[in-house]
Each structure stands twice: as structure tokens, then as C-alpha cells.
Amino acid sequence: MPYVPCPSCPLRANGPFKQYADRDIKFLDDLKKDHLAVEAGRDIIDAGDPNPPLFTLFSGWAFRYKMLPDGRRQILNFLLPGDVIGFQGHMFDAAPHSVQTLTDVELCSFHRSKVWELFSAHPELAFDLTWLTAREECYVDDNLLTVGRRSAVEAVGTLLIHLYKRADALNLRKNGGVTFPLTQSHIADALGLSLVHTNKSLRKLAKMGLHEIKNGSLTLTNGRALEKLAQFFDEPLAARPLL
Amino acid sequence: MPYVPCPSCPLRANGPFKQYADRDIKFLDDLKKDHLAVEAGRDIIDAGDPNPPLFTLFSGWAFRYKMLPDGRRQILNFLLPGDVIGFQGHMFDAAPHSVQTLTDVELCSFHRSKVWELFSAHPELAFDLTWLTAREECYVDDNLLTVGRRSAVEAVGTLLIHLYKRADALNLRKNGGVTFPLTQSHIADALGLSLVHTNKSLRKLAKMGLHEIKNGSLTLTNGRALEKLAQFFDEPLAARPLL
DNA sequence: CGACTTGTTGAGCCCATTCAATGCTAGTGG
DNA sequence: CCACTAGCATTGAATGGGCTCAACAAGTCG
């Protein structure tokens, strides 16, 4: 796993990300502690950890989740390259949720102790960190609307479109579709549904000719109709911050 | 409606809020545009507004919500005195959700154009604004867990405890209980339940002797058992920021 | 007083659940 | 190469939690 210095970050160069002044990039490079690889299915943040790490997701997928003591799980939202991980834990006594990798990932880890310096000396970065926090809240808000008020079929359709758009915006295309590493169990836990009913809803949508999932790749075969069904929110902005 | 200057803010003086340096308070006072009253049941932010206002809730209750085109409504979270309103809309093209008053309220409105100055010249305030944004996300995360994975009775119990704790922390006590301005319809829309089933769940909890709602006041008559049932998250911190 | 909002309760239905069984694929080890 | 295992996807059957529909009580406001 080669160390990737921020000034030569390929994600920053190739993705739909905002550009920063050299001074800011230099600071980010100073903030960066390590570049590490973690395999799929590992918890990288544990709810309750009083001193959780701070990352940016460099490559791969992950998700934030919470559990009830009896084992019920709710996935809060999914994390794609460029997303900040664990900042909430920095602000409170302890990490309020867990984070688990969905695929093998690469992470940029940061020095938590220097976050205050970010706020005091790099207001543009601070603003964008807040922006990323707010955007994550938007995703959760939308998912809450889905879980609370949409039917199972609507909910599954909505989630597929949402993830398709986000992956597509990051150029995660792969022979016609986008990479799609979720199992049906993840979909169920993100939507508050049972695994069995999630499967039946997926089959129903596929039979309606609206999507196809094969070999870890998601294709929307009738995007327009699916959008109409799901009435999902707008695309993310084109130029987004990347810390 | 008398104008309340920030240096003599009674909320800041009496509530469980953090203290700031005079310099910061002075800036906040400069940021403040108006002090206004709005009656109960009014939308103060409309989803889709490209230029939504920015407030702090000075007194009263409100809630953030989203609607589907066919009228289904999902309440995202509730807003109590000290909460910032509309900051998300400042970061995106348009307000991603609506905000409606639940009681008569008083609002401090701010100059949106000076938010950047807040970040560049008042990092402590910027950090705390981010903190408030992150805390709101925590509330939504918890509500998503509730809506997705708890039964109706558990969900209603959880919400009652959550609101009781928040109101209690703000000293909103009233002859034994705390003020509680929600109708059952609000509870239903916050939890993704039907109105009828919400009513039945409330009655069930009341019959179990766990709470009582009367004259706009909520009393937890068996707090310990209810907590056990709901297994809700920790108290908010004692000293929180107030912008 | 009627109109309206909010809360309450019962009846019946249906969407989503649990339980259960089976197929498919990939990986492991003999 | 095959037996065995494990994880994931699929499907049917039966149950049930939460839904809709409907009626009514109680308080408030013009």
C-alpha cells in the first residue's frame, strides 16, 4: 500500500472535486497521518469508542450503521470515495455510530488533534468540512423519508437510483452499469425491511424491467420510469469538496 | 416584540449554554438581523426555496419535515430553543426540507451574507455551528434507527423519552412534566406510523403506566421502565453552543 | 349553535413479517 | 475431481403488526 501524498492525490485530480489553493493542500498533507488498506466487512469505527479515528474514504465503499442491543441493525447511509468518516465522533464524547467496510477500501487517516488548526487557520477547509457534514445529513434525511413513508417497492427503487447516481458521479462505471457491492441484506437494513421482503421487492422491480443487478454491477434499464416512481432528490453538486 | 440584543440574551444567560468571549458575542450581535415572532403552524422555511432565511429558535418549538408529492409527510426532527434553523439551505442550491412552527415562536434572524465572515474570523463560532449541525444529524440518525427497526410501541416510547430529555434540559418544566405541544399527528409523521396506530400505541404505553399527556404537558410516570424499553441514547452535553 | 380540530375505539384487510425449504456459487480440503 | 461448507439469493405458506375505513366523543372557536 503506497503512501499517497495529498498534492499528488489521484482522486482529487480525476474526480468531480473542488480545487484548493496550494497552501490548503499543503495543510491537508500535514494533517494526513497514514494511508491504509482495510478488507471488506471490517468495522473501522465502533459505536461508543471515546476516541475514534478520522478518515477520508480514498477508494471502495462503506456504510454507517447503528445496532439495537438485540441485534437489529439500521444502516444510516452509504459512504463512497471522498466521504469523510468519523468526524461526528470527534465532536462528541464517543462515536455515536459504527462504520463498516463494504468492499476492500483504502483510507486516508488524519491527525485528530489538528482539526482545531483546520478551523482556526483554514476557514475554507472548515467550511467544506461542514458542507460535507451537512450533505451527509441530507442523505440521512432522504433515507428517513423513504423508510418512514414509502412502500417497500418504492423504497428499494429509490435507494437503487440514489446509489446509482452517486456512483455514476464518481465515474464508477463498469460495462454499462455501476459497481454495486451491496448484498440484499444491506438493502434490507438500510430500508428497515426484512431480507425476504427486500428480495421480493427487488424481483418485482426487475420484472418491471427497471433494473438489473449482476456480478456486482447495477444497471438501470429504464431509468426514467424508475425515477418517476421514486421521485428522488436532486443530483449532488458537480464540484464538491474533498478533504 | 422587543428586539433582543445578543449581549443581553436571556436564553444565553439562563439556559445550559456555553459562554463566549465578548468579541464573539459582539460579532453575533452584528450578524443578527431581526428578532421576530411567528404564530404556531406556519412554515418558516419552504423546501425548494433557493434563498432560505437563517434563524436561531429563541423560544417555542418547531420541526423539520419533507413531503412526497402525494401528500405523505415525514417529520425529520424537532427543534427547541437554541437550535439553528435553515443552515443547510445556505450550503446548497435550495432548502432541502421545510420547517414549520409547532407553537408560537420567537426567532433571531441572521444576515446570511456574513456567514463566511463567521468562518474566516470566528473559528470557535464556526466550529460550534458545525457542532450544532452534527448534533442535529445525530438526532436524525437515532430517529432513523427508531423508524426502521423499532416496533410502534417502542418507537413512540423512544420519542417521548427523547423529547422529554431535551425539553427538561432546557428547563421547560411545567407542574411535574414538560411542555409538550405535539399532536398525535406529529408523532405519527415523525415515526412513519398511521395516526390511528399511533393513538393505540400511546394508549398502550399510558395503560402500562409509563407516561401521561395532559393539557400540553408530558409526564413520565415510570421513567426507568420506559427507558429500559426504549434504550435510548445518551443525554445531550451539558454545555452546548448557542449562536 | 355549527364547524373544526384532536383524540379514541372497533372491524376488517393487507403489506410485510417470520418460518421454512431450496438453489446457486465460490471456496476448502481430501 | 468431488464432497462439504458457507454465504447469498429465491420462493411459498402462514402469521401478524400496522393499515384503512368508519363512527363517535370532547373541546374550541367563530
Residue A101 falls inside a structural domain = yes
| pLDDT above 70: percentage of residues in chain A | 93
Count other Cβ atoms within 10 Å, centred on residue A69: 6
Q: Do the beta carbons of residue A203 and residue A133 sit within 8 Å?
A: no
Domain range holding A195? 151-230
B17 lies in the same domain as B135 = yes
Count other Cβ atoms within 10 Å, centred on residue B175: 8
B212: Cβ–Cβ under 8 A, 6 or more apart, which residues?
B177, B206, B218, B219, B221
Count other Cβ atoms within 10 Å, centred on residue B186: 20
What does residue B122 show for φ and ψ, rounded to 5 degrees? -135, 70
Average confidence (pLDDT) per 10 residues, chain A, 243 residues: 91 90 96 96 95 96 95 96 94 94 96 96 96 96 97 94 91 86 97 97 91 90 61 47 83
Rounded to whole angstroms, the Cα distance separating A240 from A238 reads: 6
A20: Cβ–Cβ under 8 A, 6 or more apart, which residues?
A28, A124, A125
| Nearest of A64, A70, A61, A73 to residue A103 by alpha carbon | A61
Count other Cβ atoms within 10 Å, centred on residue A208: 15
Beta-bridge mates of residue A174: A177
Residue A113 falls inside a structural domain = yes
Nearest nucleotide to A194, CA against C1' atoms? C17
B180 lies in the same domain as B90 = no
Residue that finishes a domain, picked among B94, B115, B143: B143
A48 lies in the same domain as A165 = no
How long is the CA A176 to C1' C24 vector, in angstroms? 24
Question: Does residue B36 surpass a pLDDT of 60?
Answer: yes
B86 lies in the same domain as B115 = yes
B17 lies in the same domain as B110 = yes
Residue that finishes a domain, picked among A110, A143, A176: A143
Rounded to whole angstroms, the Cα distance separating B112 from B102 reads: 24
Positions of chain D reached by protein Cβ under 7 A: 7-13, 17-22
Say what the pLDDT of residue B243 is. 81
Question: Does residue B238 surpass a pLDDT of 70?
Answer: no
B51 lies in the same domain as B105 = yes
Residue B98 falls inside a structural domain = yes
Q: Do the beta carbons of residue B100 and residue B30 sit within 8 Å?
A: no
Say what the pLDDT of residue A231 is. 47
Q: Per the structure block, which three cell numbers stand in for B85?
A: 434553523
Rounded to whole angstroms, the Cα distance separating B48 from B46 reads: 6
Q: What dihedral angle (degrees, nearest 10) is formed by the CA atoms of B109, B111, B117, B119?
A: 40
Residue that finishes a domain, picked among A117, A143, A169: A143
Q: Contact A148/B150, CB-based, under 8 Å?
A: no
Q: Per the structure block, which three cell numbers stand in for A77?
A: 447511509
Beta-bridge mates of residue A55: A85, A109
A158 lies in the same domain as A211 = yes
Say what the pLDDT of residue B15 is. 84
Residue B241 falls inside a structural domain = no
Q: Do the beta carbons of residue B146 and residue B155 sit within 8 Å?
A: yes
Q: Do the beta carbons of residue A205 and residue A156 sit within 8 Å?
A: yes
How long is the CA B215 to C1' D28 vector, in angstroms? 13
Q: What dihedral angle (degrees, nearest 10) is formed by the CA atoms of B14, B19, B22, B27?
A: -90
For the segment B70-88, the average pLDDT, to the nearest whole number, is: 96
DSSP string of A186-214? HHHHHHT--HHHHHHHHHHHHHTTS-EEE
Rounded to whole angstroms, the Cα distance separating A129 from A119 reads: 9
Question: Does residue B233 surpass a pLDDT of 60?
Answer: no
- Confirm whether any atom of chain D, the nucleic acid strand, is less than 7 Å from CB of A199: yes
Structure confidence by residue, pLDDT tens digits, B91-133: 998 999 999 999 999 999 999 999 999 999 999 999 999 999 9
Residue B170 falls inside a structural domain = yes
For the segment B222-226, the average pLDDT, to the nearest whole number, is: 63
Q: Which residue of B has its CA nearest to A189?
A: B148
Residue B1 falls inside a structural domain = no
Placement of cell 488524519 in the chain:
A110
How many residues belong to chain A?
243
Structure confidence by residue, pLDDT tens digits, A158-191: 999 999 989 999 989 877 789 999 999 999 999 9
Q: Which residue of A has its CA nearest to B233?
A: A96
B60 lies in the same domain as B116 = yes
B20 lies in the same domain as B63 = yes
Say what the pLDDT of residue B84 is. 97
A79 lies in the same domain as A178 = no
How long is the CA A98 to C1' C18 vector, in angstroms? 28
Rounded to whole angstroms, the Cα distance separating A87 from A130 reads: 10
For the segment B45-69, the average pLDDT, to the nearest whole number, is: 96
Q: Which of A74, A133, A141 sits opposite B149 (nearest CB)?
A: A74
First to last CA, chain B: 20
Q: Per the structure block, which three cell numbers stand in for A23?
A: 497552501
Q: Do the beta carbons of residue A104 and residue A52 sit within 8 Å?
A: no
Q: Per the structure block, which three cell numbers stand in for A191?
A: 430500508
Task: Give the number of domains in chain B.
Answer: 2
A218 lies in the same domain as A165 = yes
Residue B237 falls inside a structural domain = no
Rounded to whole angstroms, the Cα distance separating A128 from A18 reads: 10
B59 lies in the same domain as B130 = yes
Structure confidence by residue, pLDDT tens digits, A28-65: 999 999 999 999 999 999 999 999 999 999 999 999 99
